[in-house]
Homo-oligomer: A and B are copies of this chain.
Amino acid sequence: MRLLLLSNSTAPGQGYLEHAMDTLTETLAGVRRLVFVPFALADHDAYTAKAAEALAPLGIEVVGLHTGDPVRLLRSAQAVFVGGGNTFRLLRALYTRELLALIRGRVANGTVYIGSSAGTNLACPTIRTTNDMPIVQPPAFDASGLVPFQINPHYLDPVPGDPHMGETREERIGQFLEENDVPVLALREGTWLRRRGSSLTLGGSDAGARLFRRGSHPSEVATGTDLSWLLTITARFH
């Protein structure tokens, strides 16, 4: 199984996917045809064109999953890229089209999976650690389970003295852990996870990640850390 799960698709002052181009090039080595899943945003054509433009220098043909028979498209592609946007909208679209199991099956059989933001949430067992607004109601929160733990993309550290009285991200993840016994890997912007078979590594910027587990203080994870043990945990959702 080959996965690349990005916290974010765009870094400040850079173009779409530019900050991750080296790891994308490596992950997509040998891939000629990629299916793009644009359902997290409203304009599927425009979103697919943006992804195609970003990946053109790699010589990869990008086809939108909305442009034809999705089963045939997924079977003919060597990679699938699920773009960011609203996770609830993305998940509902995949349930409506009955594509979740197909994507999971293709990736288990060797199709490369790339996700950014909402696409990274989709690789988790559930979307319960998304930051997105629940603008539409999917039939369930269960996602593709390409990894057995939860990821929180776009992780933001608490800001001391912030007068805003809404929950910090750390508090929100703490509430998740009150209800579920599942580790949450919070990816700061510019970082990503790479899975190759039973190997899992944190990559990207030096910002690193933060790991939240029930009953423990959160711990820092440095970029480059081998996190393969996270693929062997047992998740307990309630």
Shortest CB–CB separation between residue A27 and chain B, in angstroms? Answer: 21
Interface status of A21 (Cβ within 8 A of chain B):
no
Q: How many Å lie between the Cα of A132 and that of B174 in the bound state?
A: 12
Q: How many Å lie between the Cα of A175 and that of B117 in the bound state?
A: 16
- Give the interface segment out of A66-74, A100-108, A133-141, A220-228: A133-141
Contacts of A134 in B (CB 8 A): 127-128, 130, 134, 141
Total interface residues in chain A, CB < 8 Å: 41
Beyond A178-B42, A179-B89, whether A165 also contacts B8 by CB under 8 A is yes
Identify whether the interface residues of A are mostly helix, strand, loop, or mixed: loop
Interface status of A59 (Cβ within 8 A of chain B):
no
Beyond A127-B134, A134-B134, whether A89 also contacts B12 by CB under 8 A is no
Q: How many Å lie between the Cα of A86 and that of B176 in the bound state?
A: 9
Interface status of A233 (Cβ within 8 A of chain B):
no
Q: How many Å lie between the Cα of A173 and that of B153 in the bound state?
A: 19
The interface of chain A, by Cβ under 8 A from chain B, is: 8-12, 42, 85-86, 89, 117, 126-137, 140-141, 153-154, 156, 163-167, 172-173, 175-176, 178-180, 189, 238
Interface pairs (17), CB distance under 8 Å: A8-B165, A42-B179, A85-B175, A86-B172, A86-B175, A89-B175, A126-B137, A128-B136, A131-B166, A132-B167, A134-B134, A134-B141, A135-B175, A154-B164, A154-B165, A154-B166, A156-B164
